[in-house]
A and B are shown apart, each in its own frame.
Chain A
Amino acid sequence: MKNLIIYIITAVIFVVTLGVGYLIADQYLGRAPEQPINFSHRIHAGDNEIPCMYCHSYAERARVSGVPNVQRCMGCHKIIKTDSPEIQKVAGYWDRKEPIPWIKVHNLPDHVVFPHKRHVKAGRKCQECHGPVETMDVVKRIAPLKMGWCLKCHGKYDVKNGRECWTCHT
């Protein structure tokens, strides 16, 4: 009986440790923060089939893909659906000449250099890392964005120097 209690306590500690570790490890996975504008990728990229790089225009030529500026939004929304309250919020930012404080969903630590350009030029689809964004109303992070996850792909496509530290870190 005494032994049984000891076993149970050990097992509980073991499970709790593993569980806490699991929760901490993946706390950002599936992160879908509420954005200042209730922007739907499903409507834009899905239903209306706007290409990703129409808005995220730097992805092909720079390290960052670029969050579109308010001008890019207003380019269409001066005319389209101006009566929607969300669009009016965008127009408000435009009138006040303020950027929209978007919340970054796919955030990498500062010591990682991730060039979008290289990946787009290598023919990777946006969806391979970002998931089916065109079906999401609220963008949700589906990739763990951990080093092992990066390396899995680098191994799969046999990237030159793909396993070297300095390729992504400085």
Chain B
Amino acid sequence: MSGILTRIKDKLKSYRVPGYRTKFDYKWTMVVDLDRCSGCEACVVACYAENNLPVVGKRDCDVSRRFSWIRIERYVEGEYPDVKVKFIPIMCQHCDTAPCEIGCPVYATYHNQDGLNVQVYNRCVGTFTCATYCTYDVRRFNWFTYKWDAPLEQQLNPDVTVREMGVMEKCTFCIQRIRVAKDTAKDEGRKVTDGDMQTACMQSCPTDAITFGDMNDPNSKVSKLAKSPRRYRLLEELDTDPSVIYLKRVMDDKKGSGNGHGSSHG
């Protein structure tokens, strides 16, 4: 009896090595510098092209079924002419203690060894739980089986699955590019470093507002940027431990005061 118990225990242990949530091979992190973001939405377009996102049309857009995995939220402060507009690009935050992961009954969304919050489309049964639990509203659902008109299906990315109806999806941090980068790095017998890969949004950003890299590597660009005093994470008080780090935009507190740093820090 005890022999069986030990065997089960060992088996369970073997599944947990290397550790879940504690020891990542990589720790992919994205840093978004809001000071640089101009809200041009080039990242949104790039994401559509890279990840085979369907364009849902006017009617579905009306009822809030847009497919953009990354979106630019606009917040307008004040009345004309004293108006301040703030942009914040929001994509899946790849939380380390993700609320969505506890919800999925079939492990269609789970945390992988790279610290990514992975969505496995072919395992998804569509209970909507992950999307309901998500505090950032970044999950998208395939309400229909979307079709691409005749020449457009030729531009689909062959590395990314085209999802069928009834499946939840979200930003993957361009996992297909990470896969290629890791593949190349493995052949050369090294780890992935900065410059090996870019996510689609990062690649297309004209102002270099988005940086992507490995947080485990102390020399990577993201590790350095993450030490910035302007650093914050979205809805940090919910303790979701997101992997996306925002660098706060430095703004003037009052018109003409010229010293807006006081409240902008931290």
| Residues on A facing B (Cβ under 8 Å) | 109-111, 113, 115, 117-118, 121, 161, 163-166, 169-170
**Closest chain A CB from B52 CB (angstroms):** 11
B121 near A164 (CB under 8 angstroms)?
no
Cα separation A26 to B207 with both chains bound (whole Å): 54
B116 at interface (Cβ–Cβ under 8 A)? yes
B123 at interface (Cβ–Cβ under 8 A)? yes
A170 near B112 (CB under 8 angstroms)?
no
**7 A-B pairs with least C-beta separation:** A111-B122, A165-B120, A111-B161, A166-B118, A166-B112, A169-B120, A161-B113
A170 near B107 (CB under 8 angstroms)?
no
With A109-B122, A169-B120 given, is the CB distance from A164 to B112 under 8 Å?
A: yes
**Closest chain A CB from B66 CB (angstroms):** 22
| Residues on B facing A (Cβ under 8 Å) | 15, 25, 107, 110, 112-113, 116, 118, 120-123, 159-162, 172, 175-176, 179, 183, 187
Residues of the B chain whose Cβ atoms lie less than 8 Å from the Cβ of A170? 121, 159-161, 172, 175-176, 179
Residues of the B chain whose Cβ atoms lie less than 8 Å from the Cβ of A121? 187
A164, closest chain B residue (CB) = B112
Cα separation A166 to B175 with both chains bound (whole Å): 9
A–B complex contacts, Cβ < 8 Å, 18 sampled: A111-B122, A113-B159, A163-B15, A164-B113, A165-B107, A165-B110, A165-B120, A165-B123, A166-B112, A166-B118, A166-B175, A169-B121, A169-B122, A170-B159, A170-B161, A170-B175, A170-B176, A170-B179
B123 near A166 (CB under 8 angstroms)?
no
Can you name 6 extra interface pairs (CB under 8 A) apart from A110-B161, A111-B121? Answer: A111-B122, A111-B161, A113-B159, A165-B107, A166-B120, A169-B123
With A165-B123, A169-B120 given, is the CB distance from A118 to B176 under 8 Å?
A: no
**Closest chain A CB from B130 CB (angstroms):** 15
**Closest chain A CB from B201 CB (angstroms):** 17
Residues of the B chain whose Cβ atoms lie less than 8 Å from the Cβ of A164? 112-113
Residues of the A chain whose Cβ atoms lie less than 8 Å from the Cβ of B107? 165
Cα separation A118 to B110 with both chains bound (whole Å): 24
**Closest chain A CB from B7 CB (angstroms):** 15
Cα separation A115 to B159 with both chains bound (whole Å): 12
Residues of the A chain whose Cβ atoms lie less than 8 Å from the Cβ of B120? 165-166, 169
A121, closest chain B residue (CB) = B187
Residues of the A chain whose Cβ atoms lie less than 8 Å from the Cβ of B161? 110-111, 169-170
Residues of the A chain whose Cβ atoms lie less than 8 Å from the Cβ of B116? 166
A163, closest chain B residue (CB) = B15
Residues of the A chain whose Cβ atoms lie less than 8 Å from the Cβ of B179? 113, 170
Cα separation A121 to B123 with both chains bound (whole Å): 29
- In this complex, the member of B107, B110, B179 whose beta carbon has the largest number of chain A beta carbons within 10 angstroms is B179
- In this complex, the member of B113, B122, B160, B187 whose beta carbon has the largest number of chain A beta carbons within 10 angstroms is B122
Cα separation A121 to B188 with both chains bound (whole Å): 12
Residues of the B chain whose Cβ atoms lie less than 8 Å from the Cβ of A113? 159, 179
A118, closest chain B residue (CB) = B183
A110, closest chain B residue (CB) = B161
Residues of the B chain whose Cβ atoms lie less than 8 Å from the Cβ of A161? 25, 112-113
Residues of the B chain whose Cβ atoms lie less than 8 Å from the Cβ of A166? 112, 116, 118, 120, 175
Residues of the B chain whose Cβ atoms lie less than 8 Å from the Cβ of A109? 122
Cα separation A164 to B175 with both chains bound (whole Å): 14
**Closest chain A CB from B129 CB (angstroms):** 18
